[in-house]
């Protein structure tokens, strides 16, 4: 592991507006590892691993999201390597199926 691992759950109008694709693009652009997925309850869940400053910045960006989204809340917590390990083998950052 090369830094911190954070799990975030984003609530609001965050599905059907390109939020997952936006998260994937931002994470890859900043060299982060992890994953993002929709949840059946209407939220988006993501896990980021990287340098503390970079992870802090992407979590802050998640509070705004893409222009078509409306973010009402972002819950953040420290996550484990096991949680990070849910991404697809061979991928630094994955878009996972809805749970």
> Is residue 20 among the annotated active site residues?
yes
Closest C-alpha among 6, 14, 12 to residue 84: 6
- Looking only at the bridges linking them, the beta strands covering 33-38 and 93-95 are parallel
> Is residue 13 among the annotated active site residues?
no
* Catalytic hit among 6, 7, 37, 38: 38
* Catalytic hit among 20, 37, 40, 63: 20
> Residue with structure tokens 């939020």?
19
Report residue 15 as tokens: 């599905």
Which are the catalytic amino acids?
20, 38
């Amino acid at each position: 592991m090369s830094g911190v691992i954070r799990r975030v759950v984003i609530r609001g109008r965050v599905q059907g507006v390109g939020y997952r694709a936006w998260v994937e693009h931002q994470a890859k652009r900043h060299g982060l590892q992890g994953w993002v997925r929709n949840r059946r309850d209407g939220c988006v869940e993501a896990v980021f691993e990287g340098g503390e400053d970079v992870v802090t910045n992407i979590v802050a960006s998640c509070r705004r999201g893409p222009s078509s989204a409306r973010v009402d809340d972002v819950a953040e917590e420290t996550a484990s390597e096991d949680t990070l390990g849910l991404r697809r083998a061979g991928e630094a950052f994955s878009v996972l199926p809805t749970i």
